[in-house]
Copies of this chain bind each other. A is one copy, B any other.
Amino acid sequence: MFEQLGLIGCGLMGGSFALAMKKAGLVKRVVGYSKSPSTTDRARQLGVIDVEAPSALLAVAGADVVLVAVPVAATEATLKAIKHLVTPQMLIMDVGSTKSDVVQAAQRSLRDQVGSFVPAHPITGREVSGVEHAEADLYSGRQVILTPTERTLTAQLQDAEKIWTALGCRVTSMSPESHDAAFAAVSHLPHLLAFAMMNSITGQAHGDDFLSLAGPGFRDFTRIAASDPKVWRDILLSNRDELIAQSKQFQQALHNIEQAMEKGNAQALEDMLTLASETRAHWRMGAKRK
Protein backbone atom coordinates (compact mmCIF):
# COMPACT_ATOMS: atom_id res chain seq x y z
CA MET A 1 0.00 0.00 0.00
CA PHE A 2 1.35 3.40 -0.99
CA GLU A 3 0.56 6.77 0.52
CA GLN A 4 0.89 9.03 -2.49
CA LEU A 5 1.21 8.54 -6.24
CA GLY A 6 2.96 11.30 -8.11
CA LEU A 7 1.62 11.18 -11.65
CA ILE A 8 3.50 13.04 -14.36
CA GLY A 9 1.48 13.00 -17.55
CA CYS A 10 -2.28 12.70 -17.01
CA GLY A 11 -3.15 11.18 -20.40
CA LEU A 12 -4.68 7.84 -21.32
CA MET A 13 -1.87 5.71 -19.87
CA GLY A 14 -1.14 7.81 -16.79
CA GLY A 15 -4.77 8.51 -15.99
CA SER A 16 -5.69 4.84 -16.33
CA PHE A 17 -2.85 3.89 -13.98
CA ALA A 18 -4.11 6.35 -11.34
CA LEU A 19 -7.65 5.00 -11.62
CA ALA A 20 -6.41 1.39 -11.46
CA MET A 21 -4.24 2.08 -8.38
CA LYS A 22 -7.18 3.68 -6.60
CA LYS A 23 -9.60 0.92 -7.60
CA ALA A 24 -7.15 -1.72 -6.31
CA GLY A 25 -6.78 0.21 -3.04
CA LEU A 26 -3.04 0.51 -3.61
CA VAL A 27 -2.75 4.26 -3.06
CA LYS A 28 -4.42 6.83 -0.82
CA ARG A 29 -3.80 9.99 -2.80
CA VAL A 30 -2.83 10.98 -6.34
CA VAL A 31 -1.02 14.23 -7.04
CA GLY A 32 -0.90 14.89 -10.77
CA TYR A 33 0.90 17.13 -13.23
CA SER A 34 0.55 17.54 -16.98
CA LYS A 35 2.41 19.89 -19.29
CA SER A 36 -0.92 21.45 -20.25
CA PRO A 37 -2.67 22.99 -17.20
CA SER A 38 -6.08 22.31 -18.77
CA THR A 39 -5.28 18.59 -18.86
CA THR A 40 -4.28 18.59 -15.19
CA ASP A 41 -7.46 20.49 -14.38
CA ARG A 42 -9.57 18.05 -16.38
CA ALA A 43 -7.90 15.08 -14.65
CA ARG A 44 -8.90 16.51 -11.25
CA GLN A 45 -12.46 17.22 -12.40
CA LEU A 46 -12.76 13.63 -13.61
CA GLY A 47 -11.47 12.29 -10.29
CA VAL A 48 -8.42 10.76 -11.94
CA ILE A 49 -6.12 12.78 -9.66
CA ASP A 50 -6.93 14.28 -6.26
CA VAL A 51 -4.58 17.25 -6.27
CA GLU A 52 -3.11 19.32 -9.11
CA ALA A 53 0.63 20.00 -8.96
CA PRO A 54 1.99 23.11 -10.72
CA SER A 55 5.18 21.31 -11.79
CA ALA A 56 6.58 17.81 -12.24
CA LEU A 57 8.86 18.40 -9.26
CA LEU A 58 5.95 19.26 -6.98
CA ALA A 59 4.02 16.19 -8.16
CA VAL A 60 6.87 14.13 -6.73
CA ALA A 61 7.06 15.94 -3.37
CA GLY A 62 5.80 13.55 -0.71
CA ALA A 63 5.20 10.69 -3.15
CA ASP A 64 6.37 7.15 -2.42
CA VAL A 65 5.50 5.99 -5.93
CA VAL A 66 5.89 8.02 -9.13
CA LEU A 67 4.68 7.23 -12.64
CA VAL A 68 6.18 9.07 -15.60
CA ALA A 69 3.66 8.73 -18.44
CA VAL A 70 4.93 11.11 -21.13
CA PRO A 71 6.03 10.58 -24.77
CA VAL A 72 9.34 8.71 -24.54
CA ALA A 73 11.47 11.60 -25.85
CA ALA A 74 10.26 13.70 -22.91
CA THR A 75 11.47 11.14 -20.35
CA GLU A 76 14.93 12.61 -19.82
CA ALA A 77 13.76 16.19 -19.26
CA THR A 78 11.06 14.93 -16.91
CA LEU A 79 13.44 12.86 -14.81
CA LYS A 80 15.91 15.78 -14.67
CA ALA A 81 13.12 18.03 -13.43
CA ILE A 82 12.28 15.73 -10.53
CA LYS A 83 15.78 14.49 -9.63
CA HIS A 84 16.18 16.68 -6.54
CA LEU A 85 13.24 15.09 -4.79
CA VAL A 86 13.97 11.47 -5.72
CA THR A 87 14.85 9.36 -2.67
CA PRO A 88 16.28 5.83 -2.32
CA GLN A 89 12.93 4.74 -0.88
CA MET A 90 10.88 6.03 -3.80
CA LEU A 91 9.68 3.81 -6.67
CA ILE A 92 9.68 5.51 -10.07
CA MET A 93 8.31 3.84 -13.19
CA ASP A 94 7.52 4.80 -16.75
CA VAL A 95 5.15 3.23 -19.28
CA GLY A 96 7.15 3.89 -22.45
CA SER A 97 7.00 1.63 -25.51
CA THR A 98 10.78 1.77 -26.03
CA LYS A 99 13.23 0.86 -23.31
CA SER A 100 16.92 1.22 -24.36
CA ASP A 101 16.57 4.96 -24.75
CA VAL A 102 14.52 5.30 -21.56
CA VAL A 103 17.14 3.38 -19.55
CA GLN A 104 19.88 5.63 -20.95
CA ALA A 105 17.84 8.74 -20.26
CA ALA A 106 17.29 7.58 -16.67
CA GLN A 107 20.98 6.94 -16.14
CA ARG A 108 21.93 10.36 -17.49
CA SER A 109 19.29 12.26 -15.57
CA LEU A 110 18.91 10.41 -12.25
CA ARG A 111 22.60 9.47 -11.87
CA ASP A 112 23.15 8.08 -8.34
CA GLN A 113 19.39 7.81 -7.80
CA VAL A 114 18.81 5.64 -10.90
CA GLY A 115 18.30 2.59 -8.66
CA SER A 116 14.84 3.91 -7.77
CA PHE A 117 13.75 3.71 -11.41
CA VAL A 118 12.12 0.55 -12.77
CA PRO A 119 11.53 0.80 -16.55
CA ALA A 120 8.11 -0.64 -17.37
CA HIS A 121 6.12 -1.25 -20.55
CA PRO A 122 2.53 -2.36 -20.10
CA ILE A 123 1.34 -3.98 -23.35
CA THR A 124 -1.87 -2.09 -23.75
CA GLY A 125 -3.17 1.07 -25.29
CA ARG A 126 -6.02 2.44 -27.27
CA GLU A 127 -6.27 4.32 -30.52
CA VAL A 128 -7.76 7.26 -28.62
CA SER A 129 -5.71 9.44 -26.29
CA GLY A 130 -6.38 11.88 -23.49
CA VAL A 131 -7.52 11.69 -19.90
CA GLU A 132 -11.19 11.53 -20.99
CA HIS A 133 -10.54 7.98 -22.17
CA ALA A 134 -8.68 6.87 -19.04
CA GLU A 135 -10.19 3.73 -17.53
CA ALA A 136 -9.38 1.69 -14.44
CA ASP A 137 -9.33 -1.57 -16.41
CA LEU A 138 -6.92 -0.57 -19.19
CA TYR A 139 -4.13 -2.69 -17.68
CA SER A 140 -6.22 -5.58 -16.43
CA GLY A 141 -5.29 -8.91 -18.03
CA ARG A 142 -2.33 -7.44 -19.96
CA GLN A 143 1.37 -8.23 -19.94
CA VAL A 144 3.86 -5.82 -18.40
CA ILE A 145 7.51 -5.96 -19.39
CA LEU A 146 10.06 -4.69 -16.84
CA THR A 147 13.58 -3.98 -18.07
CA PRO A 148 15.66 -3.52 -14.90
CA THR A 149 19.42 -2.94 -15.10
CA GLU A 150 22.25 -3.95 -12.76
CA ARG A 151 21.76 -0.75 -10.85
CA THR A 152 18.02 -1.18 -10.20
CA LEU A 153 17.32 -1.65 -6.48
CA THR A 154 15.79 -5.01 -5.56
CA ALA A 155 13.18 -3.48 -3.25
CA GLN A 156 11.90 -1.24 -6.05
CA LEU A 157 11.85 -4.08 -8.56
CA GLN A 158 9.82 -6.21 -6.15
CA ASP A 159 7.41 -3.36 -5.47
CA ALA A 160 6.96 -2.81 -9.20
CA GLU A 161 6.16 -6.51 -9.70
CA LYS A 162 3.67 -6.41 -6.81
CA ILE A 163 1.89 -3.35 -8.17
CA TRP A 164 1.40 -4.64 -11.71
CA THR A 165 0.41 -8.08 -10.45
CA ALA A 166 -2.16 -6.47 -8.17
CA LEU A 167 -3.52 -4.58 -11.19
CA GLY A 168 -4.18 -7.91 -12.90
CA CYS A 169 -1.10 -7.98 -15.15
CA ARG A 170 1.33 -10.77 -15.97
CA VAL A 171 4.85 -9.46 -15.34
CA THR A 172 7.86 -10.46 -17.45
CA SER A 173 11.44 -9.16 -17.18
CA MET A 174 13.94 -8.85 -20.00
CA SER A 175 16.82 -6.66 -21.12
CA PRO A 176 16.02 -3.29 -22.71
CA GLU A 177 17.67 -4.47 -25.93
CA SER A 178 15.61 -7.67 -26.19
CA HIS A 179 12.51 -5.65 -25.45
CA ASP A 180 13.18 -3.18 -28.23
CA ALA A 181 13.95 -5.88 -30.80
CA ALA A 182 10.72 -7.73 -29.99
CA PHE A 183 8.51 -4.66 -29.98
CA ALA A 184 9.98 -3.35 -33.21
CA ALA A 185 8.55 -6.56 -34.73
CA VAL A 186 5.17 -6.89 -33.06
CA SER A 187 4.18 -3.32 -32.24
CA HIS A 188 6.24 -0.58 -33.86
CA LEU A 189 6.24 -2.15 -37.33
CA PRO A 190 2.45 -2.72 -37.38
CA HIS A 191 1.99 0.93 -36.39
CA LEU A 192 4.42 2.09 -39.09
CA LEU A 193 2.61 0.01 -41.72
CA ALA A 194 -0.83 1.20 -40.60
CA PHE A 195 0.29 4.85 -40.80
CA ALA A 196 1.76 4.26 -44.27
CA MET A 197 -1.43 2.47 -45.39
CA MET A 198 -3.57 5.51 -44.50
CA ASN A 199 -1.21 7.94 -46.20
CA SER A 200 -1.00 5.76 -49.29
CA ILE A 201 -4.77 5.88 -49.72
CA THR A 202 -5.26 9.57 -48.93
CA GLY A 203 -2.49 10.40 -51.41
CA GLN A 204 -4.57 8.99 -54.29
CA ALA A 205 -7.12 10.86 -56.41
CA HIS A 206 -9.88 8.38 -55.54
CA GLY A 207 -8.76 7.98 -51.92
CA ASP A 208 -12.02 9.25 -50.41
CA ASP A 209 -14.07 6.93 -52.64
CA PHE A 210 -11.91 4.01 -51.62
CA LEU A 211 -12.29 4.83 -47.93
CA SER A 212 -16.07 4.99 -48.22
CA LEU A 213 -16.07 1.35 -49.34
CA ALA A 214 -13.76 -0.03 -46.68
CA GLY A 215 -15.12 -2.69 -44.35
CA PRO A 216 -14.36 -4.44 -41.06
CA GLY A 217 -11.02 -5.90 -42.21
CA PHE A 218 -9.72 -2.41 -43.00
CA ARG A 219 -11.23 -1.05 -39.78
CA ASP A 220 -9.28 -3.46 -37.58
CA PHE A 221 -6.10 -3.37 -39.67
CA THR A 222 -5.87 0.43 -39.48
CA ARG A 223 -7.22 0.97 -35.94
CA ILE A 224 -3.71 1.70 -34.62
CA ALA A 225 -3.15 4.32 -37.34
CA ALA A 226 -5.35 6.64 -35.25
CA SER A 227 -2.81 6.51 -32.42
CA ASP A 228 -1.30 9.69 -30.96
CA PRO A 229 1.16 11.15 -33.53
CA LYS A 230 3.50 12.71 -30.94
CA VAL A 231 3.76 9.51 -28.92
CA TRP A 232 4.49 7.50 -32.07
CA ARG A 233 6.87 10.06 -33.56
CA ASP A 234 9.02 9.49 -30.48
CA ILE A 235 8.72 5.71 -30.57
CA LEU A 236 9.58 5.45 -34.27
CA LEU A 237 12.61 7.71 -33.82
CA SER A 238 13.75 6.13 -30.58
CA ASN A 239 13.73 2.57 -31.89
CA ARG A 240 14.49 3.34 -35.51
CA ASP A 241 17.43 0.96 -36.00
CA GLU A 242 15.50 -2.11 -34.86
CA LEU A 243 12.41 -0.89 -36.66
CA ILE A 244 14.12 -0.31 -40.01
CA ALA A 245 15.65 -3.79 -39.70
CA GLN A 246 12.20 -5.28 -39.07
CA SER A 247 10.74 -3.29 -41.93
CA LYS A 248 13.37 -4.75 -44.29
CA GLN A 249 12.45 -8.27 -43.15
CA PHE A 250 8.81 -7.44 -43.75
CA GLN A 251 9.47 -6.04 -47.21
CA GLN A 252 11.29 -9.23 -48.13
CA ALA A 253 8.30 -11.31 -46.98
CA LEU A 254 6.01 -9.03 -48.99
CA HIS A 255 8.26 -9.35 -52.03
CA ASN A 256 8.12 -13.16 -51.76
CA ILE A 257 4.33 -13.17 -51.87
CA GLU A 258 4.24 -10.64 -54.72
CA GLN A 259 6.65 -12.75 -56.74
CA ALA A 260 4.37 -15.76 -56.47
CA MET A 261 1.48 -13.53 -57.57
CA GLU A 262 3.36 -12.14 -60.54
CA LYS A 263 4.51 -15.58 -61.66
CA GLY A 264 0.98 -16.90 -61.23
CA ASN A 265 2.43 -19.58 -58.95
CA ALA A 266 -0.78 -20.53 -57.16
CA GLN A 267 0.73 -23.33 -55.11
CA ALA A 268 3.63 -21.25 -53.74
CA LEU A 269 1.17 -18.47 -52.98
CA GLU A 270 -1.22 -20.79 -51.20
CA ASP A 271 1.65 -22.26 -49.18
CA MET A 272 2.74 -18.82 -47.99
CA LEU A 273 -0.80 -17.75 -47.12
CA THR A 274 -1.40 -21.04 -45.31
CA LEU A 275 1.70 -20.51 -43.17
CA ALA A 276 0.54 -16.99 -42.27
CA SER A 277 -3.06 -18.05 -41.68
CA GLU A 278 -2.22 -21.03 -39.48
CA THR A 279 0.32 -19.07 -37.44
CA ARG A 280 -2.19 -16.31 -36.82
CA ALA A 281 -5.09 -18.68 -36.13
CA HIS A 282 -3.09 -20.50 -33.44
CA TRP A 283 -1.67 -17.36 -31.82
CA ARG A 284 -3.28 -16.27 -28.58
CA MET A 285 -2.55 -12.90 -27.04
CA GLY A 286 -0.65 -13.22 -23.77
CA ALA A 287 -0.25 -17.01 -24.07
CA LYS A 288 2.89 -18.25 -22.38
CA ARG A 289 5.62 -19.65 -24.61
CA LYS A 290 5.69 -23.41 -25.01
Contact = CB atoms under 8 A, between A and B. Distances in A.
Interface of A: 123-125, 127-128, 142-143, 145, 172, 181-183, 185-187, 189-204, 206-230, 232-233, 236-237, 240, 243-244, 246-247, 249-254, 256-258, 261-262, 264, 266, 269-270, 272-277, 279-281, 283, 285-290
Nearest to A184: B210
Nearest to A197: B250
* Assembly stoichiometry (copies): 2
A183 B213 contact: yes
Interface of A is mostly: helix
18 contacts: A196-B254, A198-B279, A199-B275, A200-B249, A203-B253, A208-B290, A211-B283, A212-B287, A214-B285, A215-B286, A220-B223, A222-B280, A222-B283, A233-B269, A236-B273, A237-B269, A240-B261, A244-B258
A276 B244 contact: no
A273 B235 CA distance: 12
A225 B276 contact: yes
